């Protein structure tokens, strides 16, 4: 059976072709709905919201850090770092509030409020780049000492090879 051409369907379509067209339309509409629902579904994984963001506050995003925004939802595992003059409150959905003053860091996770409060760490001013990389000052110093030792050993060996055998 052939459907008569119209201004909307310029070519004659068979019932099978119309069925394929309808199926394609359903798939496209479903894909658009899934894309639009993506942020809402991702929000379900968050456990807290940032409030009272003042000054320089950074949050981890992927492999880097970005500026925090008041009202921003954060998931478990997100690092929050305050720099000089920065303040933020991490408002957990379960009612626990974690306040960070300047030069502090905190990794968002679930748990008892008292335990979470004990995980706020004060960082040495100027070491925020280390904190953003996930390193502590002792870890950085240990790496620097090992590196300096390797440089010295290489230099000492080089000097010994250039010495005259006489």
Secondary structure of 10-45 in HEC code, one letter for each residue = CCCCCHHHHHHHHHHHHHHHHHHHHHHHHHHHHHCC
Across the chain, which has 166 residues, the per-10-residue mean pLDDT values are 55 61 61 59 76 94 90 94 93 92 93 89 69 64 76 70 62
pLDDT computed for residue 128 by the predictor: 53
Beta bridge mates, 87: 54
The confidence score (pLDDT) of residue 63 equals 85
CA dihedral sign of residues 139, 142, 146, 152:
positive
Q: Are 45 and 70 in contact (CB under 8 A)?
A: no
| pTM confidence score | 0.52
Q: Please state the separation of Cα 88 from the chain's center in Å.
A: 17
Are residues 117 and 100 in contact, defined by beta-carbon separation less than 8 angstroms? Answer: no
Separation of CA 91 from chain center:
18
At 62 the pLDDT is 84
Tokens 């310029």 belong to 10
> Biggest alpha carbon distance in the chain?
106
Residue 150 backbone zone (phi > 0: left; psi -120 to 50: alpha; other: beta) = alpha
Q: 10 Å Cβ neighbour count for 105?
A: 20
Beta carbons within 10 angstroms of residue 155's beta carbon: 10
């Amino acid at each position: 059976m052939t459907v008569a051409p119209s201004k909307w369907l310029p070519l004659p379509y068979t019932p099978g072709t119309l069925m394929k067209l309808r199926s394609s339309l359903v798939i496209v509409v479903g894909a658009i709905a899934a894309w639009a629902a993506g942020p809402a579904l991702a929000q379900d994984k968050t456990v807290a919201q940032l409030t009272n963001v003042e000054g320089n506050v950074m949050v981890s995003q992927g492999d880097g850090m970005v500026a925090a925004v008041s009202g921003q939802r954060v998931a478990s595992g997100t690092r929050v770092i305050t720099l000089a003059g920065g303040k933020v409150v991490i408002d957990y959905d379960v009612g626990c509030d974690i306040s960070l003053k300047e030069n502090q860091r905190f990794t968002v996770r679930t748990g008892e409020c008292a335990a979470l409060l004990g995980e706020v760490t004060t960082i040495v001013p100027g070491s925020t780049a280390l904190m953003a990389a996930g390193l502590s000052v002792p870890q950085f110093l240990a790496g620097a000492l090992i590196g300096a030792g390797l440089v010295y050993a290489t230099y000492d060996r080089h000097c010994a090879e250039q010495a005259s055998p006489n």
